[in-house]
Amino acid sequence: MKFKEIAFREPNSKRIYRDYIMRIQQAIKTLNAANQQEILLEINSHIYESLMSNPDSGKEEVAHLLDILEKLGQPEVFLKPLVAEKKLDEATRTFNPIQVIKALVLNIGNGISYIIFTVLYLLLFGFLFLIGAKLFDPENVGFFYRANDICILGYYRSYGVTHLEYEKLGNWFIPLMLVLTVLFYFMITLLLRLKRTLKS
């Protein structure tokens, strides 16, 4: 079903209505086209049904419309949680990292679990940082291990002392970090999707 503007008799009603629809469109623009259309149709339908439910109330068209829009509220406010929820749903379906981060930023005020997921995703950048660091400083980045003494995954520098002989991964460090990044990304995103499913 395609969005269709409501017809009004009075020009002022039309202006008020169009302004409200534009505010809705602005509030939902981060969503994909299907979700934007769904929200727009739902609100438009609500406005139309409210206008038609009491056409003989004696009120002028403008006053009646303003009452309806006042009850709905400001789109920038009442649509914020809905947009955040739908954005997260879109992101977890696509596994697009940029969309996931955007969705988590929108949801950061919706509970501690979203803050935890945001931190987990940010930790993934640590793996990517280690890949770059290994390329620029291969002697001091890696997995250093010696029983009862050293166990370090990452960057390690002790001035005057080298622990290069305890580096266990060597050339496998970068492929392993890439695999771990992808693996943890999918695991965290699947957990996020599971959380969304359990919440529904």
- Spatial separation of the C-alpha atoms in residues 164 and 162, rounded to whole Å: 6
pLDDT for residue 58 is more than 70:
no
Question: Regarding predicted confidence, which is higher, 13 or 96?
Answer: 13
Average pLDDT over residues 61-66: 88
Average pLDDT, the chain: 83
**Would you give the distance in Å from CA 126 to the centre of its chain?**
20
Question: Regarding predicted confidence, which is higher, 57 or 29?
Answer: 29
pLDDT for residue 130 is more than 80:
yes
Q: How far is CA 68 from CA 27, 37, 62, 136, 160, in A?
A: 19, 21, 10, 62, 75
Question: pLDDT > 70: what percent of the chain?
Answer: 89
pLDDT for residue 200 is more than 60:
no
Beta bridge mates, 151: 145
**In the chain, how many H helices and how many E strands?**
8, 2
0.85 exceeded by the pTM? no
Average pLDDT over residues 24-35: 92
pLDDT tens track for 181-198: 888 888 888 887 777 676
Band of pLDDT at residue 133, cut at 50, 70 and 90: confident
Q: In the chain, what are the domain boundaries?
A: 11-78, 95-199
Band of pLDDT at residue 161, cut at 50, 70 and 90: low
CB-CB neighbours of 180 under 10 Å:
14
pLDDT for residue 30 is more than 60:
yes
**One-letter amino acid identity for 101?**
I
* Residues with Cβ within 8 Å of residue 119, at least 6 apart in sequence: none
**Confidence (pLDDT) at 91:** 79
Q: With DSSP H G I counted as helix, E B as strand and the rest as coil, what are the percentages for the chain, rounded to 5? A: 70, 10, 25
**Confidence (pLDDT) at 46:** 92
Average pLDDT over residues 99-114: 72
Band of pLDDT at residue 22, cut at 50, 70 and 90: very high
